[in-house]
Amino acid sequence: MDIPSYLKDTNSFLRAVEDINWRGDLKLVSIDVESLYTRIPHHEGVNAICLVLHRAGKSPAFIDFVREALLFILTHNSFLFNNQWFNQVTGTAMGTPVACTFANIFLAVFESKFILNLGNPYVKYIHTYLRYIDDVFMAWSGSEQEFFDFVDFLNTGERMNMRFPCNFGDKHLEFLDVQLDVVADQIKVSGYRKPTATNALLHYNSAHPDHVKKAVPYGQFVRLRRINDSDESFHKQALELKDRLRLRGYPDTIIKTAYDKATKLDRHQLLHRREVKRNSDRFTFTFDFCPNERNIRKAIQRNWVILERDPELRKVTVNRPMISFKRNPTMRDLLVNSKFSDKKTTWLDREIPKGNFTCHHCNFCRFHLRTRSLNIGGVTTMVEQFISCKTDYVVYVIFCTCRRFYIGKTIRPLYIRFREHHHSITSGKGSQRLIKHIRDAHAGDPNSLTFAGIERVMPKIDGGDRHRELLRREARWILKTEAEGPIGLNDKNDMAVFI
């Protein structure tokens, strides 16, 4: 659908501003939509999308499918807070990928119905109308009073629950990340940073690919070049940017090279540069970034010929893939959690004993240490849950009579996992340190072993990944007790579960 007001980004706004035929009677104004995402009524929103699809000539079956899918997304929007489940009944969640398109199309239909339409008595004053999602820029030909009357008209009409705060800028306006000034009947643009903006540039010490970090200063200087139409304001803001980059650990050489390169660029060309089309023949090989990604990259490139020679795979792909990385969890992802709980314990919780207990039914009870306190390679700990031979999702320890130990985890009942260890020792197979130790130091006698649970991973209230949590717990205990060290019997641990 063609939305005349649509702005893709700051760039498209700057290009649109260049095209405005400025007149002395015009004023710079902006309005925005208050909490757009949470206010869009479900049915009106879905109707708007269907209308647009209909106009675009889509088939009724397709439109019905989209309607159903959208309603499903909108009405199954639940979240957990403070141990209670909530269902969002109006608006769309910010997190769903469809939210932005949904809001954008909804507003496009809204403005064609209520703003850019003769039903709006003030439409004659709208000289230019541009919108970036929920931020609207206008060149207004009416008076200041008429502008506020127009906003009142929008706000009081009970139009689909929407509210519109506004800003009458006249000859000066801040919009997106630029500021506009009318000087001698011409619009001048320069960069704008909100007074509350923080220095959120990627830190140079961050674990990102080198080329990503090196691209940050250049990208930022180019952006300044683009949003400042005079050299004077560019250089002024570049100085400030240099300081911010230094504070984020960027070496002076990288800053200087990037600045010099950006200074030479021509602003007009930057604004009107055609976007590079992606090479669609090549598919993308995506994986988690890790500091030794170069070796993975090289291995893929070097061994790609194997796939190229394969008669079956050759039909699917021949070209070497592009390499890209998934976004890794940030500190924020790891630290911020809305699933906190202040659940009080009751007398029922107190009744459940803590520690290791035998189940009295399995053949391995005699190996199970009935204890609450454990000393694992000098690290002492108290078991805080009830664990029996039949408990699942446990991190456990196997002790040898000589006090050496092995840390493991299982999602099955503990005794089943121990039975496997027992079996591999009696059969004498395997080269793990644990098996080798019993073979070499205790003549392969499995009776020199005992086991105990250290902790259990409980089911997550939101159905989160319990297995992954178990892996993390296990890795943590391996690290804490130095189970890969001289006293422990673990083989090399894979720390990838932490990232």
Residues found near Zn ion in the complex (CB under 5 A): 358-359, 362, 365, 389, 400, 402, 404, 441
Quote the least distance from Cβ 360 to Zn ion, whole Å.
6
DSSP E strands in 192-293: the ranges are: 284-288
Q: CA-to-CA distance for 389 and 415, rounded, in angstroms?
A: 5
Q: CA-to-CA distance for 3 and 391, rounded, in angstroms?
A: 60
Instruction: Rank residues 365 and 497 by Cβ distance to Zn ion and give the closer one.
Output: 365
DSSP state of 251: -
Q: CA-to-CA distance for 291 and 401, rounded, in angstroms?
A: 40
Q: CA-to-CA distance for 66 and 96, rounded, in angstroms?
A: 15
Instruction: Rank residues 404 and 421 by Cβ distance to Zn ion and give the closer one.
Output: 404
Instruction: Rank residues 74 and 362 by Cβ distance to Zn ion and give the closer one.
Output: 362
DSSP E strands in 331-436: the ranges are: 355-357, 373-376, 379-382, 386-388, 394-400, 405-410
Q: Which of 124, 156, 153 is nearest to 138 (CA)?
A: 124
Which value, in Å, is the radius of gyration of the alpha carbons in the chain? 32
Quote the least distance from Cβ 409 to Zn ion, whole Å.
18
Instruction: Rank residues 47 and 385 by Cβ distance to Zn ion and give the closer one.
Output: 385
∠ CA 6-8-11, nearest 5°, is: 120
Quote the least distance from Cβ 386 to Zn ion, whole Å.
14
Identify the bridge partners of residue 6 per DSSP, sorted by sequence position: 131
Token pair 């960069």 in the structure block, residue: 191
Q: 339-346 contacts: CB < 8 A, separation 24 or more?
A: 339/80, 339/81, 339/83, 339/461, 339/462, 340/82, 341/82, 341/83, 342/82, 342/83, 343/83
Whole-number Cα distances in Å, 238 to 92, 220, 221, 256, 261: 39, 9, 7, 11, 12
Q: CA dihedral in degrees (11, 13, 18, 20; nearest 10)?
A: 170
Instruction: Rank residues 188 and 419 by Cβ distance to Zn ion and give the closer one.
Output: 419
Quote the least distance from Cβ 488 to Zn ion, whole Å.
12
Instruction: Rank residues 402 and 461 by Cβ distance to Zn ion and give the closer one.
Output: 402
Quote the least distance from Cβ 287 to Zn ion, whole Å.
40
Quote the least distance from Cβ 380 to Zn ion, whole Å.
20
Instruction: Rank residues 186 and 447 by Cβ distance to Zn ion and give the closer one.
Output: 447
Quote the least distance from Cβ 478 to Zn ion, whole Å.
18
Quote the least distance from Cβ 394 to Zn ion, whole Å.
13
Quote the least distance from Cβ 459 to Zn ion, whole Å.
22
∠ CA 479-480-483, nearest 5°, is: 60
Three-class SS state of 104: helix
Instruction: Rank residues 68 and 445 by Cβ distance to Zn ion and give the closer one.
Output: 445
Instruction: Rank residues 199 and 401 by Cβ distance to Zn ion and give the closer one.
Output: 401
